[in-house]
Structure 1
């Protein structure tokens, strides 16, 4: 059977370029967790940008709300004895200033 030389796409779409979402560096880099060591153990810390903060959480440092649209940190134990899945399930959302200024001498 001879090959068809007709275009397979509808005519209207061929001239329109595909739209791509602009790269958001905060969104790309914000998803990466880093390890922080402190007197109270090893912690995995991930930054959440204002654009990615869509829900309200309660900060364990001060007890106040972390409102939607507010950049903050998500923190969980790196050295959790019950395993990584349990540590991630127990993660908490902190205000950045509360996490930086936390006192861990009494923990």
Structure 2
């Protein structure tokens, strides 16, 4: 008896390009606020807190989340760490407190 396959990949059969896994996560390009953003899902970094720009709450260490940055050759300082749900709802809501790029993160 052969092992059961739960899912079939129809897009791979049709020759569509799939995002390459990077460090156990997928990198893709999505649109937000009129520009393209590179988005990467990460498992979380132990010992590191981040502040989500979508809800202005902390992302605890080791928590899976999304890292996004503008696709126009932005540097490390332009990366933003979002809760997965906040990134998914980014077009429908914003943070109650708006922080500028030069404002302290914590």
Partner residue of 2:53 out of 54, 60, 63? 60
For the Cα contact (< 8 Å) 1:39–1:104, is it kept in 2? no
Query: How many residues are matched?
Result: 73
Which structure features the higher share of helix residues?
1
Higher strand share: 2
CA RMSD of aligned residues (A): 2.6
TM-score of the aligned structures, taking structure 1 as reference length = 0.57
2:103 is aligned with 1:103: no
Larger Rg: 1
TM-score, normalisation: structure 2: 0.57
Check conservation: 1:40, 1:104, Cα contact below 8 A: no
- Runs of 5+ unmatched residues, structure 2: 1-20, 95-106
Change (3 A) 1:58 1:66: same
Runs ≥4 residues deviating over 6 A = none
